[in-house]
Chains A and B, each alone.
Chain A
């Protein structure tokens, strides 16, 4: 347990971005080995490794691949690099430090599923990362890793890099495919699932950047090696993006199952300014808040879910004792209100309404029934909206009400934010 650099082990190497340097660290040997294997064997290997998707939902990657209907071609791989969850910055770290590792993962996944054209949908704001990937794709093409007859093995593959236009919803896989096709970024009705009818109506696999980065290592070292890392249901490591009121924010690649306490207190250097920990939020903006009592929960999909939150996209937002939880929830709700695509009623109208109520809390005009009203609005959104964006908009605020209801009540009785007041008093 603890820090376990797997994907990031060579990140200290100078010029790792360059193909020659990457190859020197063992780069593309995983892909070369994969090319010697039958695609089906690769799918079985990834299944056996227990690799779960790192984009947020934690779905087993090998299973996802095997859902593609047999004999239906062309099929596409889309690498989801639209990292847009507030609090997450792991994919950019992977792309800017080792773009070839991302590319090698895409190559392996494409070969495994029988895809000849892969796409990377990258967040529009990620300009340096786009440039790094572009350069890597050019280098790989020149070196024969991409193009017709890859490495003389009779396999064709090309990669298209597509920049998003800055919508959070386009991180949702079907909205991403719709956007990639040139339409408004809006989620699609499921079923049919992308595996059957995805990009341009063809069978499609969508894998996160971090997910594909694991593939070269699994191919090189085997499923058993990978399974030995982490927990029984959570093989491998994850990059945790630590931010907030912590002394050393940043990306930490941790073995799955490591206690959250170790991440925050040891590696993060604990809560800043010698303050006490009030709460933390794993997963990203969508996920439920956890309390100091949950510090011994392991960094693992299932353990965090059992504790009442979700590991999501691997964010770890630390909040100290001076944090106004109502204001924290307000900021997240406003984010979702801003990012709601407007397709379905509960999310479009519900987030707008919640945002209005939260403004009222911070503005000192909240009414006695407002807490229950928020819960009720949340009830009418969660599980009712078209895609998980709507559901997720309610998780953080509802969990905050659950644990910090008294803070909401204080906002009502004191006609404003007690935390801001105390800060103002301290300043005065």
Chain B
């Protein structure tokens, strides 16, 4: 009989038998049966270093206590995590960690969500036997304009330095000096430049690295936490909106291995002040050249009146930060109710979007052999967390080729013919070159070639999928002679009304020079937005709307993954944006009767079956062809 080859290992942890794959750490095997081993330096995304020595456990037949974070399981291993020896040692190591720690928990931002504090309560000694002066270091050292370092609180777990080395690859943070004098710092004390510094604060197991924006803002237990999606770009990184007294304190990461791999970029993370509402304002309409406060009903009636007059000559611009639900109603308002084809969500003319733009998923980058970054750094700038995925891929052996947008020939030459899987990443502006490159590579190599186009805004992809385009309907169907004009053509197109809807100042309607000349001549300019902006000066109607962080709905990221955003801040005095759309449509003769965002989502899925993906937070796949 053939012997069965198995890659599984069975061991016991505190008497409980557990079977795990070979190459599992003791720490993770224990976790599998619900046994928690305390850690500081260990981090699931980084290689074990075993420096903090918190996780030492007893392993039978091994004379010394073993670091559970660095020792791999073996068949028949007997692990004990709660013996007298382990308990005594855990008290000992926590006592060591605390002798030079300032214990200023009452004024520390981390207090209340601090692993050092929590584990001291759970495993530590009740009191310290240390009776000497603590070693003193610099406090509140500005590491950059984003981060402050408290060197006294630092327990030298190496997480931030390892992030800098293994995750972002920037090697900006390093250990300096040695022994008890060891500190964390940058080269020559120069300000840190990384675009991923916020992550340092999240992985810091003490209050050593804190965000300047969140400094002394809140205690963790006072925060209301809402799972949502980052409004920064089309990556769709998962976030948690932490708010106190209905004011955003910070954005925290929320792991989605398929998208963000648990990281955020600083652009997205620190963008939250943009979503902070400054005042409670009411709808306004322009009468006699002056804007005056009115009720929603009055403002809507004014809008309906103007739109009715404009009819098919009304144009609508919806922001790529709007939810799919808003976009669905917005499109139906223009296409079905007003019978106007002039719809857009873009700021410039770009090559048509098509389903083939997202045949490559973000997570699949790791499984490629070769990635071409067409446009180089400009692609990273458009979606910074992509860099972390690319660096991770590189460490796994993927070749990353960065070329300029015009260097298609160089990119083709850089990929060998026996390559099995190639990916192309480019921004919308360079899509034509990306398609050209894909065609050429497909001819050259025997494997697959897929592309991922980085769209604009957290829901630029959704806006395209749903047909917020002058010439394409939902699902990229042609409009058969019904095509309208796009935003760049609007000045001079004889339009009689423009309705601008935006949810985020990061992806708002910023007039071009031509538009600035044209806008004052438009008979009706409706501006539906959440925060005062320069465009207010030209608007005839201002409808306060909800910010990205103030509403429920779904957004679709660059790879077509549909994810839910949720209301993290309550602005109940502002009428829901979709309700305003419904009100306007109904006064223009429609008979919509949505009672909740959820009903719109259901309708969206019914009309556009690939959006079934929303229920799985999966990717919308328009076609199977590569």
Residues of A within 8 A of B177 (CB): 342
Residues of B within 8 A of A126 (CB): none
Complex Cα distance, B51 from A96, in Å, reads 38
In the complex, the answer to whether A338 meets B50 with C-beta atoms within 8 Å is no
Complex Cα distance, B48 from A189, in Å, reads 9
Complex Cα distance, B79 from A279, in Å, reads 41
Residues of B within 8 A of A339 (CB): 179
A337, CB-defined interface residue at 8 Å = yes
In the complex, the answer to whether B130 meets A342 with C-beta atoms within 8 Å is no
Query: Which of B93-101, B230-238, B539-547 has 4 or more CB atoms under 8 Å from chain A?
Result: B93-101
Q: Which residue of A has the minimal Cβ distance to B157?
A: A345
Q: Which residue of A has the minimal Cβ distance to B52?
A: A345
B461, CB-defined interface residue at 8 Å = no
- Contacts A346-B93, A348-B156 aside, 5 further interface pairs with beta carbons under 8 A come to A189-B50, A189-B70, A342-B156, A369-B129, A380-B96
From known contacts A380-B89, A380-B92, A383-B65, infer whether A342 and B181 are also in contact, taking CB-CB under 8 Å.
Answer: yes
A373, CB-defined interface residue at 8 Å = yes
Q: Which one, B129, B130, B155, B180, contacts A340 given CB within 8 A?
A: B180
Residues of B within 8 A of A155 (CB): none
Residues of B within 8 A of A346 (CB): 53, 92-93, 96
Residues of B within 8 A of A163 (CB): none
In the complex, the answer to whether B179 meets A353 with C-beta atoms within 8 Å is no
Complex Cα distance, B129 from A143, in Å, reads 64
In the complex, the answer to whether B51 meets A343 with C-beta atoms within 8 Å is yes
Complex Cα distance, B313 from A240, in Å, reads 100
Residues of A within 8 A of B52 (CB): 344-345
Complex Cα distance, B64 from A246, in Å, reads 38
Complex Cα distance, B543 from A208, in Å, reads 80
A397, CB-defined interface residue at 8 Å = no
Contact with A along B72-105 (1 / 0, CB 8 A): 0000000000000000010011011101100000
Residues of B within 8 A of A352 (CB): 99-100, 135, 179-180
Q: Which of A364-395 contact B (CB under 8 A)?
A: 369, 373, 376-377, 379-380, 383-386
From known contacts A338-B179, A380-B89, A384-B56, infer whether A345 and B100 are also in contact, taking CB-CB under 8 Å.
Answer: no
14 contacts between A and B (CB under 8 A): A189-B49, A189-B50, A342-B177, A342-B182, A344-B52, A345-B54, A345-B97, A348-B179, A353-B96, A353-B99, A380-B92, A384-B65, A384-B93, A386-B50
B290, CB-defined interface residue at 8 Å = no
In the complex, the answer to whether A379 meets B92 with C-beta atoms within 8 Å is yes
Q: Which residue of B has the minimal Cβ distance to A357?
A: B132
B207 smallest CB distance to A (angstroms) = 18
From known contacts A345-B52, A380-B96, A384-B93, infer whether A167 and B178 are also in contact, taking CB-CB under 8 Å.
Answer: yes
In the complex, the answer to whether A349 meets B129 with C-beta atoms within 8 Å is no
From known contacts A342-B181, A345-B52, infer whether A350 and B96 are also in contact, taking CB-CB under 8 Å.
Answer: yes
Residues of A within 8 A of B92 (CB): 346, 376-377, 379-380, 384
Q: Which residue of A has the minimal Cβ distance to B180?
A: A352
B175, CB-defined interface residue at 8 Å = yes
Complex Cα distance, B97 from A352, in Å, reads 12
A372 smallest CB distance to B (angstroms) = 10
Residues of A within 8 A of B95 (CB): 380
Complex Cα distance, B52 from A179, in Å, reads 21
From known contacts A343-B51, A385-B53, infer whether A349 and B96 are also in contact, taking CB-CB under 8 Å.
Answer: yes
Residues of A within 8 A of B64 (CB): 383-384
In the complex, the answer to whether B179 meets A345 with C-beta atoms within 8 Å is no
In the complex, the answer to whether B100 meets A349 with C-beta atoms within 8 Å is yes
A288 smallest CB distance to B (angstroms) = 18
In the complex, the answer to whether B130 meets A353 with C-beta atoms within 8 Å is yes
Residues of B within 8 A of A338 (CB): 179
In the complex, the answer to whether B97 meets A349 with C-beta atoms within 8 Å is yes
A333, CB-defined interface residue at 8 Å = no
Residues of B within 8 A of A342 (CB): 156, 175, 177-182
In the complex, the answer to whether B93 meets A340 with C-beta atoms within 8 Å is no
Q: Which residue of A has the minimal Cβ distance to B49?
A: A189
Contact with A along B409-445 (1 / 0, CB 8 A): 0000000000000000000000000000000000000
Complex Cα distance, B176 from A341, in Å, reads 11
Residues of B within 8 A of A376 (CB): 92
> By DSSP majority rule, is chain B's interface helix, strand, loop, or mixed?
loop
Q: Which residue of B has the minimal Cβ distance to A391?
A: B64
Of listed A340, A343, A349, A351, residue having the most chain B CB within 10 A:
A349
Residues of A within 8 A of B130 (CB): 353
In the complex, the answer to whether A380 meets B93 with C-beta atoms within 8 Å is yes
A197 smallest CB distance to B (angstroms) = 13
Residues of B within 8 A of A (CB): 48-54, 56, 63-65, 70, 89, 92-93, 95-97, 99-100, 129-130, 132, 135, 155-156, 175, 177-182
Residues of A within 8 A of B175 (CB): 184, 342
Complex Cα distance, B592 from A100, in Å, reads 96
> By DSSP majority rule, is chain A's interface helix, strand, loop, or mixed?
helix
Complex Cα distance, B92 from A383, in Å, reads 13
Q: Which of A172-194 contact B (CB under 8 A)?
A: 184, 189
In the complex, the answer to whether A340 meets B178 with C-beta atoms within 8 Å is yes
In the complex, the answer to whether A349 meets B51 with C-beta atoms within 8 Å is no
In the complex, the answer to whether B180 meets A349 with C-beta atoms within 8 Å is yes
In the complex, the answer to whether A384 meets B53 with C-beta atoms within 8 Å is yes
A356, CB-defined interface residue at 8 Å = yes
Complex Cα distance, B178 from A158, in Å, reads 33
Complex Cα distance, B53 from A214, in Å, reads 39
Q: Which one, A169, A348, A383, A386, contacts B180 given CB within 8 A?
A: A348
A380 smallest CB distance to B (angstroms) = 3
B575 smallest CB distance to A (angstroms) = 57
Complex Cα distance, B130 from A353, in Å, reads 8
A350 smallest CB distance to B (angstroms) = 6
Residues of B within 8 A of A344 (CB): 50-53
Residues of B within 8 A of A353 (CB): 96, 99, 130, 132
Residues of A within 8 A of B181 (CB): 342
In the complex, the answer to whether A345 meets B180 with C-beta atoms within 8 Å is no
Residues of B within 8 A of A373 (CB): 129
Q: Which residue of B has the minimal Cβ distance to A379?
A: B92
Residues of B within 8 A of A189 (CB): 48-50, 70
Contact with B along A145-175 (1 / 0, CB 8 A): 0000000000000000000000101000000
Complex Cα distance, B69 from A344, in Å, reads 14
Residues of A within 8 A of B180 (CB): 337, 340, 342, 348-349, 351-352
In the complex, the answer to whether A386 meets B53 with C-beta atoms within 8 Å is yes
B54 smallest CB distance to A (angstroms) = 8
Residues of A within 8 A of B96 (CB): 345-346, 348-350, 353, 380
Residues of A within 8 A of B53 (CB): 344-346, 384-386
A245 smallest CB distance to B (angstroms) = 30
Q: Which residue of A has the minimal Cβ distance to B56?
A: A384
Residues of B within 8 A of A167 (CB): 178
In the complex, the answer to whether B93 meets A341 with C-beta atoms within 8 Å is no
Residues of B within 8 A of A169 (CB): 178
Residues of B within 8 A of A341 (CB): 178-179
Complex Cα distance, B133 from A360, in Å, reads 12
Complex Cα distance, B89 from A337, in Å, reads 20
Residues of B within 8 A of A377 (CB): 92
In the complex, the answer to whether B50 meets A356 with C-beta atoms within 8 Å is no
Complex Cα distance, B51 from A344, in Å, reads 4
Residues of A within 8 A of B155 (CB): 345
Shortest 10 CB-CB contacts between residues of A and residues of B: A380-B92, A342-B182, A349-B96, A340-B179, A352-B180, A383-B64, A356-B132, A342-B179, A342-B178, A345-B53
A391 smallest CB distance to B (angstroms) = 9
Complex Cα distance, B96 from A244, in Å, reads 34
A212 smallest CB distance to B (angstroms) = 29
Complex Cα distance, B93 from A376, in Å, reads 12
Complex Cα distance, B53 from A386, in Å, reads 8
Residues of A within 8 A of B132 (CB): 353, 356, 360
Complex Cα distance, B89 from A379, in Å, reads 9
Q: Which residue of A has the minimal Cβ distance to B93?
A: A345
Q: Which residue of A has the minimal Cβ distance to B156?
A: A342
A193 smallest CB distance to B (angstroms) = 14
In the complex, the answer to whether A384 meets B89 with C-beta atoms within 8 Å is yes
B90 smallest CB distance to A (angstroms) = 10
